[in-house]
Amino acid sequence: MRIIKLNATDSTNRFLRNLSLETPVKDFTTVVTNDQTKGRGQMGTSWQSQPSQNLTFSVYKQFGAVRFEDQFKISMVVSLAIVKVLERINIPKLSIKWPNDILSANKKICGVLIENVIKQNRIESSIVGVGLNVNQIKYDNLPQASSLKSITGVHYDLDEILQLILNQLKTEMAFIENDTFAIQETYEEYLFRKEKPSTFEKAEGLFSGIIKGVSKEGLLKVMVEDQILETFDLKTIKLLY
């Protein structure tokens, strides 16, 4: 596995994408930086990470036959790989907030941004970007954020955790091109607020419902007040609590 370590870069996702456009890149080539100055988050947000305290990295993966409709499988597999590693190092109360935020004790410790190259309805390759809060203990203006150290009091070695995650990603990603049911079932076991009354925000205002799971395409299944099962896209709703 080739690991490119950068002292600073704007975004490891952007760096790796550009690299892959310039030169052939092997699967699991990884770019990691101590200081990501313009980290990208989901839905056009930014990702802030204190230099040298956390993991900010991106991994390249090429696919043979993953259909565009199956892109959520990649997302589930990546979240599960990270959760399994965190479980192994005894991080408590892990859950996955749809689609792929990783929480411990209801606080966000990890965000994932997957950027795909799609050709003729197939996912040709993905850049899997991971921001894992490891040793940072102060989060200005981010009350819902936390880190491994904030939760356990332990100081972690960043390289060791990176290696564990990369190994796990390698193992789990082998299942992407088959095995949808098992992946979805395990993902739903970790799904944050599953079967609990929750409040969501959409353009028309707030509504409440009970999260029942996810569809194959990655839509969130919610039982709304009138006992009807509806599915929602990430762009249309936000889970508040």
Which residues, numbered 56-95, are part of the site for ligand BTN (CB under 6 A)? 56-58
* Residue 220 Cβ vs ligand BTN, minimum distance, rounded to whole Å: 16
Closest alpha carbon to 40 in 105, 131, 117: 131
Work out the widest C-alpha separation in the chain, in whole angstroms: 54
For 44-55, letters b (16+ CB in 10 Å) and e give: eeebbbeeebbb
116 lies in the binding site for ligand BTN (CB under 6 A): no
* Residue 44 Cβ vs ligand BTN, minimum distance, rounded to whole Å: 9
Backbone angles phi, psi at 101, to 5 degrees: -85, 140
Among 17, 28, 30, 47, binds ligand BTN (CB under 6 A): 47
Nearer to ligand BTN, 177 or 201 (CB): 201
* Residue 84 Cβ vs ligand BTN, minimum distance, rounded to whole Å: 19
Which DSSP helix (H) or strand (E) runs through 82? helix 71-88
User: Which 8-state DSSP code applies to residue 53?
Assistant: T
List all residues 6 or more positions away from 112 whose beta carbon is below 8 Å from its beta carbon. Answer: 75, 78, 79, 82, 100, 101, 102, 128, 129, 130, 131
Q: Choose the binding region for ligand BTN from 5-13, 83-91, 138-146, 168-176 (rule: CB under 6 A).
A: 5-13
What is the distance between the alpha carbons of residues 97 and 37, in angstroms, rounded to a whole number? 25
Q: Choose the binding region for ligand BTN from 54-62, 84-92, 151-159, 166-174 (rule: CB under 6 A).
A: 54-62
Nearer to ligand BTN, 7 or 90 (CB): 7
What is the distance between the alpha carbons of residues 232 and 215, in angstroms, rounded to a whole number? 10
111 lies in the binding site for ligand BTN (CB under 6 A): yes
Q: Choose the binding region for ligand BTN from 10-18, 71-79, 214-222, 228-236 (rule: CB under 6 A).
A: 10-18
Nearer to ligand BTN, 185 or 233 (CB): 233
Which residues, numbered 118-137, are part of the site for ligand BTN (CB under 6 A)? 129-131
Show the tokens assigned to 131: 């921001």
Nearer to ligand BTN, 36 or 126 (CB): 36
SS3 203: coil
Nearer to ligand BTN, 145 or 151 (CB): 145
Q: List interacting residues with ligand BTN (CB under 6 A).
A: 11-13, 36, 39-42, 45, 47, 56-58, 101, 111-113, 129-131
